[in-house]
Amino acid sequence: MKAAVIVFPGSNREHDVARALTASMGSPPRLVWHGEAELGAADLIVLPGGFAYGDYLRAGAIAARSPVMREVAARAARGVPVLGICNGFQVLTEAGLLPGALLPNATLKFSCKFVHLRVETGQSLFTAGYAAGQVIRVPIAHHDGNYFADADTLNRIEDKGHVAFRYCGEDGALTPSSNPNGSARSIAGVFNATKTVLGLMPHPENAIDPLAGGTDGKPFFDGLIKALS
């Protein structure tokens, strides 16, 4: 299979996610500079973490309007899976490929720490490596990760099972103290209507190594690659 990681000016976790994909695929993904004319064949498109265009104006706003995103949107419309992590999630909401928006953290501070996530469904390409209700430990590293959508939208995505991950305690309970950024209904990751696009703030790609960050993120990539192969 072929994976493409889009690199915007200011992306900074493209190598982290490339390493995770390589470990699961056995071959490296293609890193595609945003200005390259051709995206090329891809069975999976990844928008990595970072600060695309400095996150000036709003996080992800300028990247979402860059020419390469028109192609990404066209591919997503044809059902090509698209994964946005952290800044990639922000870009996907700004591009209208995912519902909602990401506001500055309620703490008003950048936050880098390990959090617990509850996997809301194992029934998707992206969460196939997990069971529903499973609790995993992965890091976050963001300033604008406070998920917002109006009540109708929140109700709709919950009813349709489009919430992928929620912040929780070690025991899976949703409490205010286990919500690191003030996200509505503790939402850490959401799907689009066809569950072929996923955006999440946490970094499973920084939890694939027993020496650095643990291995709770490994099934994310293993499950995804297996589901796509």
Partner 1 sequence: MKAKVHITLKRGVLDPQGKAVAHSLASLGFAGVNEVRQGKFIEIELAETDPAKARTKLDEMCRRLLANTVIEDYAIELA
Partner 2 sequence: MTASVKASPAASIAPETATAHGLTADEYTRILSILGRPPSITELGIFSVMWSEHCSYKSSKKWLKTLPTKAPWVICGPGENAGVIDIGDGLAAIFKIESHNHPSFIEPFQGAATGVGGILRDVFTMGARPIANLNALRFGSPQNPRTRHLVAGVVAGIGFYGNCVGVPTVGGECNFHPAYDGNCLVNAMTVGLAPVNRIFYSSAAGIGNPVVYVGAKTGRDGIHGATMASAEFDEASEAKRPTVQVGDPFTEKLLIEACLELMATDAIVAIQDMGAAGLTSSSVEMAGKGGLGLELELDRVPLRETGMTPYEIMLSESQERMLMVLRPEREAQARAIFDKYELDFAVVGRLIEGGRLVVKQDSTVAADMPIQPMVLQSPEYDRPWTASPTRPPVDSAQLPLIETADALETLMGCPDLASKRWIWEQYDHLVRGETVQTPGGDAAVVRIPGTKKALALVTDCTPRYCLADPATGGAQAVVETWRNLTAVGARPLAITDNLNFGNPERPEIMGQLVGCIAGMRQACLALDYPVVSGNVSLYNETQGKAILPTPVIGGVGLIDDLAAAMSLAFKAEGESIILLGETRGWLGASLYLREVCGREDGAPPPIDLAAERRNGDAVRAMIVERLISACHDVSDGGTLVAIAEMALAGGFGADIAVPEGVEPHAWLFGEDQARYLVSCREPAPILKRARDAGVAAAVIGRIGGDSLTVSSSRPISLKALRARHEGWFPSFMTAS
By CB under 8 A, is residue 19 in contact with partner 2?
yes
- Give the one residue of 27, 40, 41, 56 binding partner 2; rule: CB under 8 A: 56
For helices 14-25 and 218-228, angle between their N-to-C axes, nearest 10 degrees: 60
By CB under 8 A, is residue 9 in contact with partner 2?
yes
Q: Which of 86, 94, 120, 168 is catalytic?
A: 86
Q: Following CA atoms 183, 95, 141, 212 in sequence, which dihedral angle do they give, to the nearest 10 degrees?
A: 120
Tokens of 115: 């959090």
**Dihedral-angle region of residue 215 (phi above 0 means left; psi in -120 to 50 means alpha; beta otherwise):** alpha
Secondary element (H or E) of residue 229: none
By CB under 8 A, is residue 214 in contact with partner 1?
no
Among positions 41-60, residues that touch partner 1 (CB under 8 A) are: 57-58
> Shortest CA distance to 63 belongs to which of 17, 100, 18, 10?
10
SS3 of residue 128 by DSSP: coil
Of 89-97, 129-137, 169-177, 201-209, the window that binds partner 2 (rule: CB under 8 A) is 201-209
Q: How far is the CB of 108 from partner 1 (least distance, A)?
A: 5
Burial class, 38, CB count within 10 angstroms (exposed 0-12 / middle 13-18 / buried 19+): exposed
112 is catalytic: no
Signed CA dihedral, 14, 19, 20, 22: sign only:
positive
Number of residues that bind partner 1 (CB under 8 A): 19
Rank residues 33 and 193 by Cβ distance to partner 2 and give the closer one.
Answer: 33
Rank residues 121 and 181 by Cβ distance to partner 1 and give the closer one.
Answer: 181
86 is catalytic: yes
- Give the one residue of 27, 40, 70, 109 binding partner 2; rule: CB under 8 A: 109
Rank residues 9 and 161 by Cβ distance to partner 2 and give the closer one.
Answer: 9
168 is catalytic: no
Hey, which residues are catalytic here? 86, 203, 205
